[in-house]
Amino acid sequence: MKFLNLLKKELRELINKQMIIGLVITFAMLLAIGQITSSVMDDVGSDTGTVNICDHDKTDYTKQLIKAVSDAGFEVKELEGDSSDRAQLLQDLDVENLIIIPEGFTKEVTESGKSGVIEKISSMQSSSALASLNDKSSAAVEIMENTTKQYIMTKNGLTAEETALIDSPLSINEVTVVKDKSAAISSETISSLISTQSMVIPIVVFILVMFTSQMIITAISTEKIDRTLETLLSAPVSRISVLFSKMLAAAIVALINAAIYMLGFKGYMGSFLEGEIDASVIGEALTVNDIMKDLGLKIGVSGYVLVGLQMFMTILVCLAVSLILGALVNDAKSAQTVLMPIMVCAMIPYLVSMIYDINLLSPAVRTLLYAIPFTHTFTAMNNIMFGNMTLYWGGLAYQVVLFIICMFFALKIFTSDKIFTISLNFGQKRKLKKANK
């Protein structure tokens, strides 16, 4: 009864306007990012790309070249125009890429025995990898080159089979193997997919860690500063129930947040996973989802349960550590200061896991990173995906141990004088003593 009363009060303090607004904004942002990403992916996937060609030579041979390009499935647009200022030319023609076949090209290739010159102009609009995937003129130029190669070889008396062999002496079947499963897709494609996916989980974890810690530290420190804690602890309720009501309330709010983030995240990933990959990348049109499933990289319900378990443990560790930190605070300013160590602990593995594969770092650095409990949360998804279950369970066990240790100290502080006597603010105490003399 009394515990419910306490819990209700804590929940009411935590669930306020700011929190709800923050939650809605984050959720909307995740969905929006998902929409943007999937529309970019659609562009890459569906657009066969228009190849713009300015043919200044206009011979049968150049016509043949252009036909070869359009036969390969590209949409070819022939344009007229010339300007020595290439930027101006692109602008005049209102295109982003252009291939120019100069006058005399055919003559050079077919008669003089020299190599012909083709000019390929593309305007660079962003350095994004997705944008460069969109550039079809490189592929078109390659086709022209091959056609010319073939023409020259045939002219020099080679049979069709011979030219084909020289043209591609090796054929490469790209296969990516994950554990015992394989799929016909390049590992670059897969890892770029995964990295997009594993970029979002750390963001959710990071927000969650900061949010939970902030909640508990604020809840405890404001009660200390306002002296409401003294009133509460002199009342007929046990200290443990006061403590647990705070923890439970924070955990509930954190879980609501996590659930909503994950929902937003699912919206994000959903729009992304359903997107089709360009047929030319993997041979036949497949959704990313299918490929991930083929490779066993798509984690099922049990996988999500494990990720959830890991997140829950992270929240508990956060709660326990924040209880201790909150107890150290005696004024509003140090409430901000004590949040710093948690922020740093969450920031380091967050940044590192975004850039490197932690398992490939040197043992010393790796140990250091694994000593930070939140690292295990950031790597959990990857560990589950790639079946590194020892690492996953090890990380979880480490967090459990850490939680027990922190809880032990937190309880010790709260059930003794320490909650009222310890303080980080040595300066203030000294001042107090001086005033007393």
Partner 1 sequence: MANVLEVKELSKQYSKVLAANKISFTIGKGEIFALIGPNGAGKTTTIRMISTLIKPTAGNVLVDGHSIISEPDKVRECITYLPDEAGAYKTMTGKGYLKFMAGIFADTKNQADEFVNRASEMSSLGERLDEKIASYSRGMIRKLLLSRAVMTRPKLAILDEPTSGLDVINALEIRKMIKKLAHEDGMSFLLSSHNMLEIEYVSDRVGIISGGILHTVGRIDELKERYNAANLEEVFEMVVNENEVP
Ligand X SMILES: Nc1ncnc2c1ncn2[C@@H]1O[C@H](COP(=O)(O)OP(=O)(O)OP(=O)(O)O)[C@@H](O)[C@H]1O
The rounded Cα 226 to chain-centroid distance in angstroms is 41
In this chain, which stretch among 62-70, 142-150, 248-256, 428-436 interacts with ligand X, using CB under 6 A?
Answer: 428-436
436 binds ligand X (CB under 6 A): yes
Instruction: Give the SS3 label for residue 260.
Output: helix
Interface pick for ligand X out of 114, 333, 433, 434 (rule CB under 6 A): 433
Q: Which is nearer to partner 1, 166 or 332 (CB)?
A: 332
Question: Which of ligand X, partner 1, none sits in contact with 255, Cβ below 5 to 8 A by type?
Answer: none
Q: How far apart are CA 375 and CA 366, in angstroms?
A: 10
Question: Which of ligand X, partner 1, none sits in contact with 284, Cβ below 5 to 8 A by type?
Answer: none
Within 13 Å of residue 60, how many CA atoms lie on the same side as its CB? 2
Interface pick for ligand X out of 284, 421, 426, 434 (rule CB under 6 A): 421
Number of residues that bind ligand X (CB under 6 A): 4
Strand partners, 52: 77
Interface pick for partner 1 out of 173, 284, 417, 426 (rule CB under 8 A): 417
- Which residues touch 323 (CB under 8 Å, ≥6 apart)? 216, 220, 243, 246, 247, 406, 407, 410, 413, 414
Residues in region 348-407 near partner 1 by CB under 8 A: none
Q: Which is nearer to partner 1, 29 or 332 (CB)?
A: 332
Helical pair 373-385 and 301-328, crossing angle rounded to 10 deg:
180
82 binds partner 1 (CB under 8 A): no
Lay out the site mask for ligand X across 378-417 (x = CB under 6 A, - = otherwise): ----------------------------------------
- Which residues touch 387 (CB under 8 Å, ≥6 apart)? 179, 296
| Minimum distance, C-beta of residue 237 to partner 1, in the bound complex (Å) | 6
Short-list 208, 190, 251, CA closest to 378 = 208
Lay out the site mask for partner 1 across 229-248 (x = CB under 8 A, - = otherwise): -xxxxxxxxx----------
Report the alpha-carbon angle 267-270-275, nearest 5: 135
434 binds ligand X (CB under 6 A): no
**Measured CA distances, 417 to 242, 420, 432 (Å):** 15, 6, 19
Q: How far apart are CA 415 and CA 393, in angstroms?
A: 32
Residues lying near partner 1 in the complex (CB under 8 A) are found at 1-2, 5-6, 9, 12-13, 16, 225-228, 230-238, 416-417, 420-421, 432-433, 435-436
In the complex, the residues that contact ligand X under the rule CB under 6 A are 421, 432-433, 436
